[in-house]
Amino acid sequence: MSAADARAWWRDAVIYQVYPRSFQDSGGDGVGDLAGIRRRLPYIADLGADAVWISPFVRSPMKDFGYDVSDFRAIEPMFGDMAAFDALVADAHALGLKVLMDQVWNHTSDRHPWFVESRASRDNPRADWYVWADPAADGGPPNNWRSAFGGSAWTFDPGRRQYYLHNFLAEQPDLDWHNPEVRAAMIAIGRFWLERGVDGFRLDVVNFYAHDRSLADNPPRPPDVPRPAGAGRGDPYFDHINRGTVCRPETLAMLGELRALADAYPGTVLLGEVSSAEDSLAAAADYVAGDGRLHLAYNSALVTDEPFTAEGLHALIARAQALFPDHRLCWTFGTHDFPRLKGRWAEHARHAEALERRRDALLAALLATLPGACCIYQGDELGLPQAQLAFEQLRDPFGIANWPHVLGRDGCRTPMPWTDAAPHGGFSSAPQTWLPMPAEHLALAVSRQQGDPGSLLETYRGLLRWRRRTPALRGGALRLFPVQGPVLAFARGSGRGRVVCAFNLSPEAATRGLEAMAAGGTHCRALAGDCRIEGDVLVLPGFGAAVLEGSGCEE
């Protein structure tokens, strides 16, 4: 077996994220479900994905739409049943797709039997399965920790006469990961799903697992300490340095138990979400360091308010190279928690339609050519813009609670448009869907783009097919070239298999000298726009992208 053949599947995986409520409704109730996902699996496989990550579908009161779990081993009825899940896994595997299941192990629902028991008294078998603390001297919360969803991170329970910790909604009490019984229970849940055939887990807010047991106050943010990249400017959560609950060093020591579980099932992958960290890129690197922690991590490194420039991207990629020498960063432009890709980047400016299409293709090409794994959030391959919803249409508790200061998550969670020839874009036959179908999304429906070689959907398909068959893009080293004007350029691979990728991050045409990148005679493959070689110069239109490949690419 060659080294390439032995390379773990997850290292270069294209992971397609499905938000079940909004992907496909098969039952006519206006909410997506497992049978709907199963119906659309051929679409995901044809796109070129290697795996599908499915957001939570287990039993939940749906206060946070599945991220508040009341039974980790049961399917939420609105999504189907265990037979529907088993059929989904079988069909996915038959299509060559791996299945990653979202696991919300930082907290449970307040209706979970564990919490019901824990809050009943201070001396029951699960009394210390959650984070409880006595009131402060004035009777208030034990410290100043804030919830990421707004307000205090503590809620008083009159039965126990104590406060419990919740880093998110009050209905999402935090488990105490310092308790070995809790960790053993999570391992058992993971084993249950691995035995059912899943290929790995996306671990929700994995950097929140442990807390500071001293319960010391979080310090206020000094004026000279900037907020983390991507943090909302009006979000009071980041008024403090949240060192008591985010990225505790104790969490890293706990990851070995999760890795041991995964290693017992060869081929399993653990993908961690690193959220709300002061330096999310550096924190993510900690979570995948060595062979005893997670396999992959993703964060908001590409989901920021920073200018969309060649210099900015060059600096980000260089830093990622230094922090992730073995390429365990999973690149992503967005998930169900962030505004749509179309509504960010490119300096938030509007351009002519042709430039908009080219910019979309450039972003797809960038994602396809960066080293390591990548995630594509459902609908980004269609170029869906962020949905603009009225306050009365919102369903996201985070968005509702922080309106209008913080942009909520409903705008990226609207239903997937499959066709412009059916109500609700073919997502559902119900009179009304849980979130509305934006009219502007219908013009970008799958049916409108399928088979159109100039569409973004077909661009993604072509790029992912090319990525899969190009050795330099599967494990090949990355070498950055100095920025010239608005052009970012890097090489992947080495020797005769080397390719050079170039991206014009400007709406104006630009050129890039070839002397430092490749010898003459190199074949130019246009990835976005009409790119060409003229003498010793690569010519790129506004938001153009190209790859140089062929005999002239060897070092």
Contact 52, 24 (CB under 8 A): no
Active site residue 273: yes
Helix pair angle (180-195, 249-263), 10° resolution: 30
Give burial (CB, 10 Å; 0-12/13-18/19+) of 348: exposed
Tokens of 523: 């074949």
Q: Residues 6 or more apart from 534 whose CB is under 8 A from it?
A: none
Catalytic option among 176, 199, 273, 360: 273
Cβ pair 63, 169 in contact under 8 A: yes
Structural tokens at position 368: 């396809």
In DSSP notation, 444-473 reads T-HHHHTT-TTSHHHHHHHHHHHHHH-GGG
**From 50, 204, 286, 381, the catalytic residue:** 204
Query: Would residue 536 show up in a list of annotated catalytic residues for this protein?
Result: no
Report the C-alpha gap between 547 and 375 in whole angstroms. Answer: 21
| Residue 267 to residue 254: CA distance in whole angstroms | 21
Q: How far is CA 220 from CA 144, 212, 280, in A?
A: 10, 16, 19
Cα 324–Cα 333–Cα 275 angle in degrees, nearest 5? 65
Q: Is 105 exposed, middle or buried (0-12, 13-18, 19+ CB in 10 A)?
A: buried
Q: How far is CA 443 from CA 351, 421, 425, 439, in A?
A: 18, 10, 10, 8
Catalytic residues: 204, 273
